[in-house]
Structure formats: structure tokens, C-alpha cells
């Protein structure tokens, strides 16, 4: 099987490539701006790092395309320029990918394109405490006019153009990804290890999460089951609030969680990015994902965090 991955040097891409290489029966092409990236040297073995899609010969049949490319959304404050970079990195790459696919004589069997639960937008109130905050949002949930939602809507729209080429298309809306050596957890771990962690704002905002192994395996689940198409939520079936997440993380690390981060500090330091990504969260659930038969290896937060952090806690 021949697989093309855009964004393969990121946290999720590395996990997917590592599994592909461990199984040993796939050739992988990774589209990257930096083919000398050490990540590729570690994971690609005898596979292919390319800087341009035209480097894939016309006679090469690509069976699967996984589209992960995009500027990190939470690394910098959202200035107008940064928002343009975030948007363009996804839209432009996906647009070029679809234009290239249109030229292929033999089309891939499937395109799996990443998105995010930001598609469902933000809470009406970032401090929401009424019953609307507890409504479960499945794959039929609607978007709003927030930047996070607009970004995902446009990204998904570009990817879904593949259906017009006769390519089975899956959209994976990803929650907060937890794993070793990357993702959201690596950014929040130090203060919690020092006993300086705690809830963010009210802590009532929902924090849909997924273990990196389940996210990786969900991509393979889509590849292996030809009846699957459309949108799937990549979130654990057991959603927790930010306060519950903070308490559980502190407990696994055997540390207190007594120092909350006030909402006004998040707004001051991070602006719109902090308000949308940290202070607001909807109760997103993987209803369709479960109905299709996917079984989560890590459905519970304590189990997931314990597996991720055991070695780090002991060391």
C-alpha cells in the first residue's frame, strides 16, 4: 500500500508514520517543507520525504492520502497576520492537494483530512453554567461564526471536494490530543509537576480529549473499513470539564491542583486564542464514531493519563 501524508512531522503524523513503519508493508510519502527534519530520519526508514507533489511519479499509485498539514493553532497569539497564516496553511495546502489528485489517472481509494472540534464553535458564555452547557454535541452539531469554527468549515469544505473526484473522504474532527512528548499535555505538564497547576477560568468549560493511540488508530479504522465516510469526532466518549481534567492530572502526578488560572489573565496574555481554545469548550461526543464500531483503547481520562505519565512520574 502506498500512502501520502501531508503534515507528517507533527505530533499526530509521527504517530501514524511510526505505526505504518512498524507494520512494514507500506511505502510512505511525506510532503514537507524540510526533508532534512530529524523526525523524518527517525521514522521514515526507506520511505520518501518530498517537498513537492510532482516528485511522486505519475506511474506510482497512491492508495491513501492523509491530510494533516497546517500551522499550529495554539503556538502564538492570534494577530490578524497569524490568523491569516493559520488559515492559509490549511486551505492552500488542501487546495493544492486536491488539484494534484484531479490530475492522477488512478485516484486514491480514500482521503482522510484532519479538522478539529473547533468546528462546533464556542459557548454562548465562556462561564456558562446553565443547562445549555451540558448539551452533547455529536457529528451533526452546527458551526458558528468564531474563528475556530470558520477555520474548520473552510478546511473541511476544501477537503470534501475530493468526493467530486470519486474519492471516499473522511473528516476527523480532533479534540485535545494527549500523549508522550508532544501535544497539549506537554505544554501543561510542568506547572502541574511543580504543584502549580489548577483549573482555567471557571473550569466549567468542557475539554473533549483523546489519547494519541486512539486518534492514530481511528485513521487506520477509516482506511480498513470502506463503508466509512464523512465526519467522525475524535474525542473520548467520556468528556470531562477543565476542572475535572486538572484534578485528574494532579492526582496522577500526586500533586495538588490548588492554583487556578483566572480568566482575565488568559484573556490578557492570549487574547482571542485563549478565549476560544482555553476558556470555552463544548461537550463534544463521538456518537457516529462509536456507532460505526470503533472501540476506544483509552476511554477514561485517569487510565489515559496514567499510561502516558507513568514513566515520567517515576523518573
Three-class secondary structure of residue 175 per DSSP: coil
- Do residues 109 and 169 lie in contact, with contact meaning Cβ atoms separated by under 8 Å? no
For 151, which DSSP code?
H
What is the pLDDT, as a whole number, of residue 125?
Answer: 57
Q: Which of 90-94, 129-133, 163-167, 296-300 has the lowest mean pLDDT?
A: 129-133
> What DSSP designation does 241 have?
B
- The domain defined by 2-182+208-235+284-295 folds into Rossmann fold (3.40.50)
Q: Residue range 193-217: average pLDDT?
A: 96
Average the pLDDT over 52-63 and give the result.
Answer: 92
Asked whether residue 46 carries a pLDDT value surpassing 60, the answer given is no
User: Do residues 276 and 86 touch, judged by C-beta distance below 8 A?
Assistant: no
Global confidence as pTM = 0.93
Residue 91 CA neighbour count, 13 Å, CB half = 12
pLDDT in tens, 116-141: 999 999 976 544 455 557 899 999 99
Count of H helices and E strands in the chain? 10, 11
pLDDT over 90, % of the chain: 80
On whether the CB atoms of residues 211 and 304 are closer than 8 A, the answer is yes
Average pLDDT of 3-9?
93
206-235: pLDDT as tens digits: 999 999 999 999 999 999 999 999 999 999
* Residues 122 and 144: beta-carbon distance below 8 Å: yes
- C-alpha 13/C-alpha 30 separation (Å) is 9
Listed residue (104, 107, 220) closest to 172, CA to CA:
220
* 121 three-class SS: coil
Q: Go through the chain and tell me how many residues it has.
A: 315
Q: Read off the pLDDT of each residue in 77-92 and give the average, rounded to a whole number.
A: 96
The overall average pLDDT reported for the chain is 91
Residue 266 CB partners (closer than 8 Å, separation 6+):
200, 201, 274, 275, 278, 279
Q: Which of 137-146, 163-172, 185-194 has the lowest mean pLDDT?
A: 185-194
Whole-number Å distance between alpha carbons of 287 and 279: 24
Q: What is the pLDDT of residue 314?
A: 34
Residue of 9 and 167 predicted with greater confidence: 167
Which range has the worst mean pLDDT, 25-39, 231-245, 285-299? Answer: 25-39
Tell whether the model's pLDDT for residue 6 goes beyond 80: yes
Percent of the chain topping pLDDT 70: 92
Provide φ and ψ at 182, rounded to 5°: 160, 180
Amino acid at each position: 500500500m502506498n500512502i501520502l501524508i501531508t503534515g507528517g512531522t507533527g505530533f499526530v503524523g509521527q504517530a501514524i508514520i511510526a505505526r505504518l513503519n512498524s507494520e512494514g508493508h507500506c511505502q510512505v510519502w511525506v510532503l514537507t517543507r524540510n526533508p532534512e527534519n530529524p523526525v523524518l530520519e527517525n521514522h521514515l526508514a526507506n520511505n520518501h520525504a518530498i517537498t513537492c507533489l510532482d516528485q511522486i511519479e505519475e506511474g506510482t499509485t497512491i492508495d491513501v492520502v492523509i491530510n494533516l498539514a497546517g500551522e499550529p493553532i495554539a503556538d502564538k497569539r492570534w494577530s490578524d497576520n497569524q490568523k491569516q497564516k493559520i488559515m492559509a496553511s490549511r486551505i492552500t495546502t488542501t487546495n493544492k492537494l486536491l488539484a494534484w489528485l484531479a490530475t492522477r489517472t488512478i485516484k486514491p481509494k480514500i482521503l482522510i483530512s484532519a479538522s478539529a472540534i473547533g468546528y462546533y464553535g464556542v459557548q454562548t458564555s465562556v462561564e456558562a453554567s446553565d443547562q445549555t452547557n451540558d448539551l452533547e454535541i455529536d457529528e451533526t452539531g452546527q458551526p458558528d461564526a468564531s474563528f475556530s469554527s470558520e477555520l474548520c468549515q473552510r478546511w473541511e469544505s476544501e477537503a470534501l471536494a475530493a468526493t467530486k473526484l470519486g474519492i471516499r473522504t473522511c473528516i476527523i474532527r480532533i479534540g485535545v490530543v494527549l500523549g508522550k512528548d508532544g501535544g497539549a499535555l506537554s505544554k501543561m505538564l510542568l506547572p502541574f509537576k511543580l504543584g502549580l497547576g489548577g483549573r482555567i477560568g471557571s473550569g466549567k468549560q468542557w475539554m473533549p480529549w483523546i489519547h494519541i493511540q486512539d486518534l492514530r488508530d481511528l485513521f487506520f479504522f477509516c482506511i480498513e473499513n470502506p463503508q466509512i465516510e464523512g465526519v467522525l469526532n475524535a474525542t473520548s466518549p467520556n468528556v470531562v470539564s477543565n476542572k475535572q481534567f486538572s484534578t485528574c492530572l494532579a492526582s496522577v502526578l500526586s500533586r495538588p491542583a490548588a492554583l487556578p488560572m483566572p480568566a482575565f489573565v488568559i484573556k490578557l496574555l492570549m487574547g482571542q486564542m485563549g478565549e476560544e481554545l482555553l476558556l470555552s469548550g463544548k461537550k463534544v461526543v463521538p456518537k457516529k464514531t462509536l456507532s460505526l464500531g470503533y472501540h476506544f483503547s483509552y476511554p477514561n481520562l485517569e487510565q489515559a493519563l496514567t499510561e502516558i505519565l507513568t514513566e515520567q512520574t517515576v523518573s
